Chain A
Amino acid sequence: MTRAPDTPPPPGDTAPIFGTHLFDGCAAVRGYALNAMCFSFNEAANREAFLADENAYCQRYGLNSEQLAAVRARNVLAMIEAGGNIYYLAKLAGIFGLNVQDVGAQQTGMSVDEFKAMLLAQGRKAGED
């Protein structure tokens, strides 16, 4: 169905999108401490301080118990559930040498090779269309 260009989108699109967590005001409030800690990792000295004493560093930013557990478990979906935003979480992942494909693999339950292969297959499929 196409709408005329002047027609505003339907109000209140509340239908969920599979596997997608919009980072809205609720998430931004819930995740503020976690995201603030991740934002601090723009500075090398802060990354080193985190690696030197992870618990102390998390405490300094006031992470709640859910956020602490998610960080300790290196569990990205749990971090998102606790209000983490992927752009900031990527800085935390970077400390462990993980890139967005490693993070994608973890969230989808694939191995990194499987995740990369899945993307390559989508490229091949698009090329055939």
Chain B
Amino acid sequence: MARIIGGYFTSHVPAIGGAIVRGDQEEPYWKPFFDGFPPVRDWLGAERPDVAVCFYNDHGLNFFLDKMPTFAVGAAHEYRNEDEGWGLPLFKSFSGHPDLSWHIIEQLVGDEFDVTTCQSMLVDHALSIPFELAYPKAKEWPLKLVPIAINTVQYPLPSAKRCLALGRAVHRALASWQGAEKIVVIGTGGLSHQLDGERAGFVNPEYDRFCMDSLAANPEAICVDSTKEIVRKSGSQGVEILNWIAARGALGEVPARETHRNYHIPISNTAAATMLLETV
């Protein structure tokens, strides 16, 4: 039987990719953020998961406004990164796990989540950076990938409540998978930040703390707000917390155990956070 070992959650600020290439991890500006990762690496090194199910949002690499799925599940053999247009390094490709992807898709649609399926799917920095952070020395990724993209770009966005329900449906799918893999769940993005408009640079540590405090034991508490209210509290791009909420759902309905947390303002325009939750 497959086993879900837990999940890690992290910001995916593009500038982190640049810092990694430059080797700036120990620089005073970056160190407080990168220092959040050794516990994640140690845990992954001990657990050695075989598959990652990663909830993220695309920033205009794979999806454009011509077709914008609310929930999209990758079912490809391989996921490549490509030029995102703003000078980021090219990130390594991932091997997919199409059999598990299709099992998840079957179960989700059976559960009335009518997702988009992608047999060809580019993955952007929002997916790659969390792996670069967790496996900094890897020449190739030591685990396979099932990516699940959530629309956080074009309104209407799915509600937080719906994202939690999606994640829980993914959990049921993983629980019924007959393979022997160890599975890690990843949620990327956030926390509070805003890139656009006259309120650019807005962060809200009080709300971020509420989200982090709620994630393991009571994620429902984050889900009482509409997406607009979440934007009000956490900024236009702070709404990427939807990826965290879905990933939390994929750990199941039972409380999870928070084993690590790091929080630092600022990384670029962002209140950056890293959390590790283990299944009980």
Contacts and interface: CB of A to CB of B under 8 A. Distances in A.
A87 B195 CA distance: 9
Interface in B239-280: 264-266, 268-269, 271
A7 B224 contact: yes
B268 A18 contact: no
A94 B224 CA distance: 37
Given A107-B196, A108-B200, A23 B205 contact: no
Nearest to A85: B153
A80 interface: yes
A60 B226 CA distance: 39
A116 to B, nearest CB: 8
B85 interface: yes
Interface string B81-114: 0111111000000000000000000000000000
A35 B64 CA distance: 9
Contacts of B203: 119, 122, 126
Nearest to A127: B265
B23 interface: no
B217 interface: no
B41 to A, nearest CB: 24
Contact of B195 (A47, A86, A125): A86
Contacts of B197: 19-21, 77, 80, 107
Contacts of A88: 60
A42 B84 contact: yes
B15 interface: yes
A11 to B, nearest CB: 9
Interface of A: 2-5, 7-10, 13, 17-25, 28, 32, 35-36, 38-39, 41-44, 47, 76-77, 80, 85-91, 93-94, 99-101, 103-104, 107-108, 115, 118-120, 122-123, 125-126, 129
